[in-house]
Amino acid sequence: MALFLKCLLGAGAVLLIALLSKTRNFYIAGLVPLFPTFALIAHYIIGTERTAADLRATAVFGLASLVPYAVYLAVVYGLALRFSLSMTLAGATLAWCAAAGVLLLVWPR
């Protein structure tokens, strides 16, 4: 049942994005993926299975994980007028992967 509810949350988010993208305020669709749906789930699980210090460490890592997302957005912004949508999103995704890889390499130190 819990898995079904998680699937419903994801489907609801996709539906909300699709609906908002068709409105005059289409840019609000970019805010929906930032709602902490999965962070809430992760933090609940960590908070119930681990210590409060581990939950705090997870929150700090979550803050650091905003850097790859910022890289992704910067690349989308930079490439959107020069390349096709597919190339723009592929380039931004590769940039996110590279930034996330750097984060994962640097974080344990």
3-state secondary structure 41-87: HHHHHHHHHCCHHHHHHHHHHHHHCHHHHHHHHHHHHHHCCCCCHHH
Give yes or no for a contact between 61 and 107, defined as CB atoms under 8 angstroms apart: yes
In this predicted structure, the answer to whether residue 3 has a pLDDT above a threshold of 90 is: no
Token duo for residue 78: 């930079």
- How far apart (Å, rounded) are the C-alpha atoms in residues 3 and 6? 5
Q: What global pTM score does this model have?
A: 0.79
pLDDT band at 34 (very low <50, low <70, confident <90, very high): confident
**Mean pLDDT over residues 24-43, rounded?**
88
* Cα of 29 vs its chain's centroid, Å: 13
pLDDT (0 to 100) of residue 108: 84
In this predicted structure, the answer to whether residue 49 has a pLDDT above a threshold of 80 is: yes
pLDDT in tens, 72-93: 999 999 999 999 999 999 999 9
Give yes or no for a contact between 29 and 20, defined as CB atoms under 8 angstroms apart: yes
Q: Other CB atoms closer than 10 Å to residue 71's CB: what's the count?
A: 19
- Residue extents of the structural domains in the chain: 54-109
pLDDT band at 36 (very low <50, low <70, confident <90, very high): confident
Higher per-residue pLDDT: 81 or 3: 81
